Amino acid sequence: MAIMIDKETKAFEVASGVQRKIIHLNNLMMVVIDFTNGPASKPDLPHSHKHEQISYVAKGELNVFIGGEMSFLKEGDSFSVPCDIPHCIQTLCTHVRLIDTFSPVREGFLL
């Protein structure tokens, strides 16, 4: 059994103002990702991956772009992305926290 205590878990900086914490099993991964570099003037570049993704907005406001459609989301909202569908976000405030889940595990995220 693995436990992730937020204040005791080291965050990994993946870009300037973007940090993530990870917990996972063999086939499921949860990533807490904090964007503290907002608001963004434009969306991130779209990307896609073989993983199914469900994300929960724990803090902040953002636009999410999935398969060419845009939606405004705020704290308490969620979105899902099927595998291989282009998607990206645009943060609309100083701090956005997403709780991302992926299946299967995104091996490239593991250090």
**74 inside domain:** yes
- Number of independent structural domains in the chain: 1
Q: What is the spatial distance between Cα 17 and Cα 71, in angstroms, rounded to a whole number?
A: 23
pLDDT confidence of 1, banded at 50, 70, 90? Answer: low
Share the mean pLDDT of the chain: 96
**CATH at residue 88:** 2.60.120.10
Residue 34 lies in a domain: yes
Q: What is the pLDDT at residue 18?
A: 98
Of the candidates 72, 69, 62, which has an alpha carbon nearest to the alpha carbon of residue 39? 62
8 part of a folded domain? no
CA distance 64 to 91: 9
Residue 91 domain-assigned (yes or no):
yes
The predicted structure's pLDDT at residue 62? 98
- For residues 61-68, average pLDDT: 97
- Rounded mean pLDDT of 88-94? 98
What is the spatial order of strands in the sheet that 52-59 belongs to?
A: 12-15, 18-24, 29-35, 96-103, 52-59, 78-81
